[in-house]
Structure 1
Amino acid sequence: MHVRPRIDQAAKLADVLLTPGGVAAARAGRPFSLSAFRLVSQVRRRFGAPATVVDVGANKGQFSRAAATAFPGCRLVAFEPLEAVAAEWRANLADVPGAEIHVCALGGEDGTVAFHPHEYSLSSSVLPLVAGAGAEGGGGAGELAPVEVPVRRLDDVLADEELRGPVLAKLDVQGYELEVLRGAAGTLRRVDALVVELAFEQHYEGQPLFTDLLGALAESGFALDVPIDVRRDETGTVVEMDGLFLPAR
């Protein structure tokens, strides 16, 4: 009998049941992610409802779905480097009017880059994993063969786009945050709230850590408002968290 997976499933179900609004959100559409639901719930409490959501590192649509559920009528603009994963995003968000996804990585300049996909797709990154590091969420999936993907600057992609405000941007790119920010200076001036994944230890080669990103975001005019969804290792040490950033006063 595989006891541990059943315990994990029971814990996840309890989390959904104990999170206000969790059951309704789980029924609203797929894919459902409790952490993404908590993120958008905190954004709604601290910031309000955005009219436009820019989802950088969209994967299969976990955050996009949570945003579409929490902020009905918002416009979704997503970015995902892997075509196969982007196809799942399209299928999952097909019921959301006007939702669009760009199949590319984002960085500091246009071109191509060797991208490191993973069996557990949430761990895929431009950067290779540090030796011995596990996949995000504790998964044991390993790196697959690198593939070439296009890289665009966010400023170039959105230069001619009307982003109706307020604008919420979410950045979850597994260690490539500084490069994305380097190509997004103009876009950030149009953003009213920003959700960023922050690491306290390196899982990827050259990955910026909490203080690095805090400084870079301060230079871009944003300050940490509140931490959301703090994640700990088996010893209780904080290894990752998502942070809500608002324009510095």
Structure 2
Amino acid sequence: MTARRWLTHAVAARLGRRGFEIRRHSSTRRQSMLMRHGVDLVLDVGAADGGYGTSLRAFGYAGPIVSFEPQAAAFARLGETISGDPTWTARHLALGSDPGEVTMNIASNSTSSSILPMLATHIDAAPSVTYIGTETVTVSTLDDETRELLPKYHRPFLKIDTQGFEREVLAGGSETVAACVGLQLELSLVPLYGGGMLIDEAIGWAYAHGFQMVGVEQGYAAPSGEILQIDGVFMRVPAGQRAVG
């Protein structure tokens, strides 16, 4: 065993005894897939303050990003994040099945804010996170927002992180989904928001629309250790290779 391998093994063993492990970062795997599939546009729905796009940039994606964020305070922080990046733009919007206006519940940690009501399972898992107010937000549809954009690109990738509202986003984006080579969806293992899409429905929807899961990224975990949400990365399967049944 080389000195480098011995040191790596020793560090991993020591971290393991303390409940940690060393593994390849999930963003590295995602970036490899984006490159392999020639992704030339990322649609970032539910961008918050831009953490997802920042991760894309950190791991090598240099193409255009269009982010959507309805919450005013988060959108202001998103504007600061993308400042100076000419290929990353942001739109102050929620996306849903129909255009209009809707009341959004604002959470104490911002990232748990949702158009849907927060359930007891969420509150029990994170008692410090509660709704502290509401905000009226503008809603558009994904197809309306991308209709003039998509003809400029060949292989878009769609990421949706909308705290249970994914079903409505997808319902307003059938044309966009048809053009995408891949997508990333937040997958809830337990109900956290009233009426929110759960993992079985989300995965079934993805496979029914020609995608297969190629990656899993850990999302929200309760302090007790239970994983409540994960992120699934899906890539499009050529029609001739899709399972029949």
Report TM bin, short chain: 0.7 to 0.9
- The corresponding residue for 1:83 is 72
* Equivalent residue in structure 1 for 2:172, among 158, 183, 199: 183
List alignment gaps of at least 5 residues for structure 1: 1-10, 21-37
Matched residue count: 219
Q: Greater Rg, structure 1 or structure 2?
A: 2
- The corresponding residue for 1:41 is 28
Separation in structure 1 between the aligned mates of residue 65 and residue 33 of structure 2, nearest angstrom: 20
Separation in structure 1 between the aligned mates of residue 230 and residue 138 of structure 2, nearest angstrom: 28
Separation in structure 2 between the aligned mates of residue 79 and residue 15 of structure 1, nearest angstrom: 36
Q: What are the within-5 Å matches in structure 2 for residues 90-239 of structure 1?
A: 90-131=79-120, 133-134=122-123, 138=126, 140-162=128-150, 163-229=152-218, 232-233=221-222, 236-239=225-228
Misfit runs of 4+, over 3 Å: 14-20, 230-238
Q: CA deviation at 1:71?
A: 3.2
- The corresponding residue for 2:234 is 245
Q: CA deviation at 1:72?
A: 4.3
Separation in structure 1 between the aligned mates of residue 124 and residue 88 of structure 2, nearest angstrom: 29
Separation in structure 1 between the aligned mates of residue 29 and residue 113 of structure 2, nearest angstrom: 26
Name the aligned partner's letter for residue 150 of structure 1: T
Q: CA deviation at 1:42?
A: 1.9
Separation in structure 1 between the aligned mates of residue 63 and residue 19 of structure 2, nearest angstrom: 27
RMSD after superposition: 2.7
- The corresponding residue for 1:7 is none
**Are the equivalent residues in 2 in contact too, given 1:135–1:141 (CA < 8 A)?**
no
Separation in structure 2 between the aligned mates of residue 121 and residue 91 of structure 1, nearest angstrom: 16
List alignment gaps of at least 5 residues for structure 2: 1-14
Q: CA deviation at 1:220?
A: 2.5
Q: TM-score, normalised by structure 1?
A: 0.78
Q: Deviations over 1:158-202 (max 9, x none)?
A: 101145243222111000010000001100112111111101101
Any idea what SS the aligned residue of 1:134 has? helix
Identity %: 25
Q: TM-score, normalised by structure 2?
A: 0.80
Indicate how the Cα distance of structure 1 residues 237 and 148 shifts in structure 2: closer, same or farther if over 3 A, else same. Answer: same
* Equivalent residue in structure 2 for 1:67, among 56, 61, 64: 56
